[in-house]
Amino acid sequence: MKVHTLPKTKNCRKNVGVLSPARLLREVLMGGGCNNRIEINLDNVSQLFETLDPYPFRERDLSKDAEEYIVDSARELPRDVALEMVIYLPKGSVDEDAAHSLGASVSTYFAHRTQAVGRQMRELFRVGRRAILVGLSILGLCLVAVQAFTVLLPSTGIVRFVEEGLVIVGWVALWRPLEIFLYDWWPLARERQLYRRLSQATVGIRYHKAPADLPPQADE
């Protein structure tokens, strides 16, 4: 499965037809009108989905290559603009009903991915809450042990070594929960936001002539 974009400097404006002066000015100000667009050129609509998926067309998963391409392309686009997908297909390669449901299929898939990442975040925070309770318990026990050693044992080098070791163990027990709440959730939050933007993206279909219908090129 090969999914690729059309050259942005040419095809983004070449395929939109005749532009009105107002729209031309807007696209010039927006950097050519392509700073929010993901373009996908396919030979057949089945290239976009997993062919072994038993679910109906509207609920099928995207193929791994298609999802990777769309997600990587979206990451390169500005975060403060609504996304747009344009799917180029050979004329007559898909019936009208399938064409109308294509956008809904893509949106549904990324909505499911948004929910899946949300569940991962909730599970991560659940693990973090348990870990912080365990870590605080271990830290408390270590501090109590240090106080007991201070009261019951003479202050020797070995005792001080054990006391300092217990304090370190107690703080190390808090490292994992702190790592979860301070750092680990950021990538998931960004991924969820990206999938949400993709689920809300407008999906358009444009048709081009199949390679067999194109006139042969003259030999140079």
169 found inside a domain = yes
pLDDT at 14 over 50: no
For residues 25 and 103, membership in a common domain is answered with yes
The CA distance from 27 to 13, in Å, is 9
218 found inside a domain = no
219 found inside a domain = no
For residues 144 and 88, membership in a common domain is answered with no
58 found inside a domain = yes
Mean pLDDT over each residue of the chain, to the nearest integer:
78
2 found inside a domain = no
For residues 44 and 144, membership in a common domain is answered with no
For residues 107 and 49, membership in a common domain is answered with yes
Q: Give the SS3 label for residue 207.
A: strand
53 found inside a domain = yes
57 found inside a domain = yes
For residues 141 and 172, membership in a common domain is answered with yes
Count of the separate structural domains present in the chain = 2
Sheet holding 202-208, edge to edge: 37-41, 84-90, 202-208
With beta carbons less than 8 A apart as the criterion, state whether 203 and 66 touch.
no
For residues 82 and 133, membership in a common domain is answered with no
Domain of 84 in residue numbering reads as 8-114+198-213
pLDDT at 214 over 70: no
pLDDT, one tens digit per residue, over 119-133 is 999 999 999 999 999
For residues 202 and 101, membership in a common domain is answered with yes
pLDDT, one tens digit per residue, over 36-89 is 899 988 888 778 887 655 555 556 788 888 899 999 999 999 888 899 999 888
Mean pLDDT of 102-115: 91
60 found inside a domain = yes
For residues 135 and 97, membership in a common domain is answered with no
For residues 89 and 38, membership in a common domain is answered with yes
What residue type is 147 in one-letter code? Answer: Q
